[in-house]
Amino acid sequence: MPRPTAPGRGLLDAMSSPMHPQAAQTLAAALDAGWADPRRLYAEARQAAALLDRARETIATDLEVAPSDLSFHLGGGPAALAAGLDGLAWPRRRTGARLVASAVEHSAILIPGRYAAAQASDPDLLAEVPVDALGRVDPHDWAAALAHPGTAVAALQQANGEVGIIQPVAAAYERCREAGVPLLVDGQASLGRLPAPETYDALAGDASAVAGPPLGVLVVPARTRFRRSGPPREAEFGRADAPVWVPMALAAAEAWQQAAAARASDNAKAERLIAHVVAAVQSIPDLDIPALAGERLPHVLTFSALYVDGEAIVTELDRRGLAVASGSACTSSTLGPSHVLAAMGALTHGNVRLRLPWAAAVPDRADAVRRLCAELPDVVRELRERLGVSGL
């Protein structure tokens, strides 16, 4: 199988990564075996339906849910989040339309929430609960936000994809249960890396996080009141806007299964690699690592450099064959300041984000980390010298 990146390139930004080799092989094979519409009755369609059932069961088993609780969503994790939010909020429309979310949530939650509040000229329609310096919500602040009249639904990440901090989901869910407000948990950055949370009313994730295709997954337990707004939908138990493409579901299931088998060992190796980067960053003057002391994902790290633009660091490292990211993890195309770091009160200038890929998808990731640790001090020094800010 050809390399997913050019020789000499080091990928350290796995918001989307090359597919796991076995997932890619499954996708190719499924083009022949699973091309038919699983809703039809002829033999090829029945085979596609059986393959789709198998894919659903594979992922459901890892998440410890019933297969019928899990739906697939074209458009990845953001589409699953949107469906989950809509399906929890619509049954509570007579209660209100207010959304409670942490200030560090994914843009797929915050941008629509801000838009709805602006359109209604009612800032109370979105409560962005503040976080501490580690990026965590306080359960007492969370409870206070839930108590506001008209609160329909709440959304909270299991872990943040930018700084890696793990949120107190169990405590937040308990406050939601006491307030009678359903909770949507965003597992885009965490599912596959961490066991699924045990407490939620809906749970969203993305197969791209396990080196699969960008296919959203949404878990809605049978006990949850859930109905999408608008006319009834046929796809995916009435939860999705369009039917899933069976080959994509099979590739997602294969990647998920491979990630589950490698989870403990890959997480341990990723954690050691991140520790090497932390040591390199801490050796450079005026670099800051937010949320380092908290309970974190093993493969995610963000750091910020005084006096240097993050985009300049990204560009220079790219010139040297290393792919890293800057800006907010969920809106990185804008290259704007990170709303996550701003909410934490951390330095937003000059930030660089790493999200290590799975070793099976990028076998030379350890070499890429070694190269980053060797190159970073020179990159920061040279950029500061160009700006005339060395020694400040």
Contact by Cβ (8 Å): 194, 185: no
Task: Return d(Cα 23, Cα 147) in angstroms, integer.
Answer: 45
pLDDT digits (tens, 9 = 90+) for 349-377: 889 999 999 999 999 999 999 999 999 99
Residue 85 has pLDDT above 70, yes or no: yes
Q: Where are the domains of the chain?
A: 10-18+263-387, 21-256
Q: What is the pLDDT of residue 330?
A: 53
CATH number of the domain at 21-256, please?
3.40.640.10
Q: What is the pLDDT of residue 333?
A: 46
CATH number of the domain at 10-18+263-387, please?
3.90.1150.10
Q: What is the pLDDT of residue 8?
A: 73
pLDDT digits (tens, 9 = 90+) for 196-206: 999 999 999 99
As a whole number, mean pLDDT of residues 301-314 equals 94
